[in-house]
Amino acid sequence: MKRILIPTDFSENAWNAICYSLRLFQNQRCEFLLLNTYTPAIPSSRFMAPMVNGMQMEDAVRSASEKGLEKTLERISAEFNNEKHSFQILSSFSLLVEEVKEVVDAYGVDLIVTGTKGASGMDEIFMGSNTVRIIKATKKCPILAIPQSYGFATPSEIAFATDFNRFYSLSELQPLIDLANAFSATIRIVHVQYEIKALTELQQFNLNLLRKYFSNVEHYVHTVSELNSVSRTLEVFSKELDIHLLAMLNYQHSYVERMTREPIVKRAAFHTQIPLLVIPELGMHVPAKPKPVEAEAV
């Protein structure tokens, strides 16, 4: 059974990520972990804890978190009815990114799904600061970022952006291969170059390795010239080929790292308008043994 972690702050943005997940995995047995974290305000005086509706601040915020999660379960139950899916709610007095890391370890999470906020002109924060922090901090499972306004579309066209400079392991690419197989999708390997030139011997070796891994999946290789920035190039490519999901590996000097460091003016056009699957560099990591849990079915 696949175990999926979805952080939520009870916004419509977070709800959209939940809906996308339930539809994406509607034919698979999954346990969804719905996580809300809270951090009460620091009291102005060490002698007096702030009160909300007759309750101490920490108790009030904990209660709001737990009630919010219960309401989310009720909404799921009202709008979705899938016997393949079970749910567990997690309310934690913690910082979001730290708690996400702990839950991934404790429960053997296979995938994190998070909503991303839209851009607002030059004040844009790439994908939302929480999503970027989760991507940078998570080393043990993929992260799927869903734009706040993106309605579900079957991912029949998937782009995998890479520069062929790094060796790939099958375990790293397996989430991408599984998605492609589940939806009979085409994988379009896209290589962004500042100037078009022949691949080096190392790049050609890694491309051949990719083709071997993707041998049972329809796939094509596209080499494109960089348009001002990597993010802008991938956005144009995705629009022109009607891509439903963009996937990238996250490692040192990867496209993900480059995009999160690009100046705002260069990535202003890239608003994560399609779901983004970020696969961490797994290395020799051995997945944690899942903690036995009693899931509440909805």
CATH number of domain containing 4: 3.40.50.620
> Does one domain contain both 70 and 12?
yes
Q: Tell me whether residue 224 is in a domain.
A: yes
Residue of 129 and 82 predicted with greater confidence = 82
Question: Is residue 48 included in any domain, yes or no?
Answer: no
Burial class of residue 103 (count of CB atoms within 10 Å of its CB; 0-12, 13-18, 19+): buried
Same domain, 76 and 142: yes
Q: Is 168 found in the same domain as 114?
A: no
Region 262-270 average pLDDT: 43
- Four-point Cα dihedral 258, 215, 183, 175, nearest 10: -50
Task: Report yes or no on 12 lying in a domain.
Answer: yes
Task: Sort residue 140 into left (φ over 0), alpha (ψ -120 to 50) or beta.
Answer: alpha
Pair 139, 169 in one domain: no
Provide the domain count of the chain. Answer: 2
Instruction: Kindly state whether residues 129 and 265 are assigned to the same domain.
Output: no
- The answer to the question of residue 143 being in a domain is yes
Give, in degrees to the nearest 5, the angle at Cα 67 between 63 and 70.
145
Q: Is residue 132 part of a domain?
A: yes
Q: Which tens digits make up the pLDDT trace of 124-146?
A: 444 456 787 888 888 889 999 99
Span 168-208, pLDDT tens digits:
899 999 999 999 999 999 999 999 888 888 999 999 999 99
Distance of CA 5 to the CA centre of its chain: 10
Residues 93 and 17 in one domain: yes
Q: Is the pTM of this model over 0.85?
A: no
Rounded to the nearest 10°, the torsion over CA 281, 191, 153, 110 is -10
Is 298 found in the same domain as 203? no
Mean pLDDT of the chain: 82
**pLDDT tens track for 105-119:** 999 999 999 998 754
- 222, 190 contact by CB (below 8 A): yes
Q: Per-residue pLDDT averaged across 58-77, rounded?
A: 92
pLDDT in tens, 222-264: 999 988 778 788 888 999 999 999 998 887 766 666 665 554 4
Q: Which domain holds residue 243?
A: 151-274
Residue 46 forms part of a structural domain: no
